[in-house]
Amino acid sequence: MSLINAIILGIVQGLTEFLPVSSSGHLVIAEHLLPGWHQPGIVFEILLHLATLLAVIIFFRRDLVLLIKSLYTSGTEAAKHRRFIMMLILATIPTGIIGLTGKKFFVTLFDRLDVVGGMLLITALLLWLAENKKPEKLTKKSTTIVDAIVIGITQGLAILPGISRSGSTIAIGMLLGIEPRTAARFSFLLSIPAISGAALLNLKEISTIPASQIPICLSGALAALITGLMALKFLLMIIEERRLKIFALYCSVVGAATLLLTFFG
């Protein structure tokens, strides 16, 4: 893998991991449309995911510090933070179950352009519905047990190529009545155990990187980290301004074009 290819893949990963457009869906589309293009090896994928994980940790570092401190402090605020941790754990359970039990099935869908197109349209629909939720109905400042379970299931199903993890979980949170910034915060902090778990399962593969490829792989990871931080800041701004329709329109166009390419290409 060349340096330029590693950097390009890192930028794509950093942007699509957090923007609600489905990174997996775009990788499948790219594989079918770009001559000679192939998905990066598992080792490079792990490094890119670790880079985007680091982006979340850096971006939400203050939140994480407060959550950690709540484990050994008392008071009303600490209790709220501990409850938030419990909701994250609760949401992670269905995600893990779906990921572990459905992995073989999901893998078979990663070469199906028709699946990607259909799932992108579902992502677009979720974003559109969330965008049109009346502001006065977005009143929840925290998640309930039911909210956490539903969002966790949604994150698990986002393994499907074309379903955006961030877009679907934020949209579902808003549809459940959670105010946008709280839904986004819960979604991105929930991604930490999900990304960590996926990376840890294959972490031993990193030792197989040839010495000559280490600088190239790290350059791609750095590109993913930088663009991931930028994407996080941009998405939170978009959510606060209630402009998710931009991404709904984008996913609609790409999803429809993908389906047309599948059936008539």
- pLDDT single digits (tens) 28-84: 777 677 666 555 666 777 788 889 899 999 999 999 999 999 998 888 899 999 999
Q: Give me the mean pLDDT over the 218-226 stretch.
A: 92
Segment 108-122, tens digit of pLDDT: 887 788 999 999 999
Inform me whether the pLDDT recorded for 15 exceeds 60: yes
Residue environment code for 82-98, b if the CB has 16+ CB neighbours within 10 A, otherwise e: eebeebbebbbebbbeb
The model's pLDDT over 223-249, given as tens digits with 9 standing for 90+, comes to 999 999 999 999 998 888 878 889 999
Categorize the per-residue pLDDT at 212 as very low, low, confident or very high, splitting at 50, 70 and 90.
confident
Residue-averaged pLDDT of the chain: 87
pLDDT of 82:
94
Q: Domain extents for the chain?
A: 3-264
Banded pLDDT at 7 (limits 50, 70, 90): confident
pLDDT value of residue 126: 95
Which range has the worst mean pLDDT, 78-92, 174-188, 212-226? 212-226
pLDDT for 56 equals 93
How many percent of the chain have pLDDT more than 90? 47
Residue 47's pLDDT is 83
- More confident position, 96 or 205: 96
pLDDT of residue 10: 86
Average confidence (pLDDT) over 141-169: 93
Burial class (CB in 10 A: 0-12, 13-18, 19+), 31: middle
